[in-house]
Amino acid sequence: MKDRAKAIWRRNVKRWLIGAGLEASAVATSAGLAKDARGFGAIFTLHHVRPETQPIIGPNRHLEITPEFLDAAIVELKALGYEFIPLSDVPARLAAPSGTPFAAFTLDDGYRNNADHALPVFARHDVPFTVFVAQGLAEHTQPLWWEIMGRLLRQQREVSFDFGQGEEKLELKTTVQKLDTFFRFASYVWSGDERETVGTLCRLAERYGIDPLGMTRELVMGPEELRQFAAHPLVSLGAHTVTHRKLARLSADEAAGEMGRSAEWLGQLTGTRPTMIAYPYGSKEAVGPREFAAARDLGFAIGVTTQPGTLTKADLSRPTALPRISLNGYYQKRRYVSALASGIPFSLKR
Ligand SMILES: [Zn+2]
**Structure confidence by residue, pLDDT tens digits, 248-261:** 999 999 999 999 99
What spacing in Å lies between the alpha carbon of 110 and ligand 1's midpoint? 9
Q: Which amino acid is at 321?
A: A
Residues 109 and 39 in one domain: yes
Q: How confident is the model over 39-44, as a mean pLDDT?
A: 91
Whether 294 has a pLDDT exceeding 70, the answer reads yes
What spacing in Å lies between the alpha carbon of 39 and ligand 1's midpoint? 26
Range of weakest confidence among 15-29, 48-62, 324-338: 15-29
Whether 296 has a pLDDT exceeding 70, the answer reads yes
Output the pTM of the full model.
0.87
What spacing in Å lies between the alpha carbon of 101 and ligand 1's midpoint? 27
Which of 319-330 are b and which e, b meaning 16 or more Cβ less than 10 Å from the residue's Cβ? bbbbbbbbbbbb
Domain boundary among 195, 214, 233: 214
Q: What is the pLDDT of residue 180?
A: 86
Residues 132 and 239 in one domain: yes
- Please state, rounded to an integer, the average pLDDT across all residues of the chain: 87
Say how far apart CA 225 and CA 350 lie, in whole Å: 41
- Please, which residues have CB within 8 angstroms of residue 295's CB and are 6 or more apart in sequence? 259, 277, 303, 320
What spacing in Å lies between the alpha carbon of 177 and ligand 1's midpoint? 25
What spacing in Å lies between the alpha carbon of 261 and ligand 1's midpoint? 16
Range of weakest confidence among 15-29, 118-132, 239-253, 318-332: 15-29
Residues 306 and 177 in one domain: no
Domain boundary among 191, 214, 237: 214
What spacing in Å lies between the alpha carbon of 281 and ligand 1's midpoint? 6
Residues 101 and 235 in one domain: yes
What spacing in Å lies between the alpha carbon of 142 and ligand 1's midpoint? 12
- Angle at Cα 327 formed by Cα 179 and Cα 40, nearest 5°? 145
- Give how far Cα 142 sits from Cα of 32, 138, 220, Å: 46, 8, 10
What spacing in Å lies between the alpha carbon of 215 and ligand 1's midpoint? 15
Range of weakest confidence among 18-27, 67-76, 227-236, 252-261: 18-27
Q: What is the pLDDT of residue 53?
A: 65
Supply the CATH number for residue 332's domain.
Answer: 3.20.20.370
Range of weakest confidence among 100-114, 141-155, 187-201, 318-332: 318-332
**Surrounding residues of ion ligand 1, Cβ less than 5 A:** 108-109, 280
Whether 215 has a pLDDT exceeding 60, the answer reads yes
Whether 333 has a pLDDT exceeding 90, the answer reads no
What spacing in Å lies between the alpha carbon of 161 and ligand 1's midpoint? 26
Residues 135 and 167 in one domain: no
Range of the domain at 184: 145-214
**Number of folded domains that form the chain:** 2
What spacing in Å lies between the alpha carbon of 99 and ligand 1's midpoint? 32
Residues 181 and 298 in one domain: no
Residues 135 and 228 in one domain: yes
What spacing in Å lies between the alpha carbon of 98 and ligand 1's midpoint? 31
What spacing in Å lies between the alpha carbon of 94 and ligand 1's midpoint? 26
Whether 314 has a pLDDT exceeding 70, the answer reads yes
Q: What is the pLDDT of residue 31?
A: 44
Q: What is the pLDDT of residue 174?
A: 87
What spacing in Å lies between the alpha carbon of 244 and ligand 1's midpoint? 6
Residue 15: what are its φ and ψ, rounded to 5°? -60, -45
Q: How confident is the model over 216-234, as a mean pLDDT?
A: 97
Residues 226 and 327 in one domain: yes
- Please, which residues have CB within 8 angstroms of residue 33's CB and are 6 or more apart in sequence? none
Q: Which of 86, 75, 61 is nearest to 302 (CA)?
A: 86
Q: What is the pLDDT of residue 1?
A: 43
Q: What is the pLDDT of residue 345?
A: 63
What spacing in Å lies between the alpha carbon of 245 and ligand 1's midpoint? 9
pLDDT range class, residue 218, cuts 50, 70, 90: very high
Residues in the chain, total: 350
What spacing in Å lies between the alpha carbon of 49 and ligand 1's midpoint? 14
What spacing in Å lies between the alpha carbon of 83 and ligand 1's midpoint? 26
Residues 89 and 8 in one domain: yes
Q: Which of 233, 206, 25 is nearest to 126 (CA)?
A: 233
Q: What is the pLDDT of residue 59?
A: 58
Residues 203 and 64 in one domain: no
What spacing in Å lies between the alpha carbon of 169 and ligand 1's midpoint? 30
What spacing in Å lies between the alpha carbon of 81 and ligand 1's midpoint? 30
Residues 115 and 65 in one domain: yes
Strand segments (E) across 113-209 = 129-133, 158-162, 167-171
Domain boundary among 156, 191, 214: 214
Residues 128 and 242 in one domain: yes
pLDDT single digits (tens) 140-196: 999 999 999 989 998 999 999 999 999 999 999 988 888 889 889 989 999 999 999
What spacing in Å lies between the alpha carbon of 321 and ligand 1's midpoint? 16
Torsion of CA 114, 118, 120, 124, to 10 degrees: -140
Q: What is the pLDDT of residue 38?
A: 72
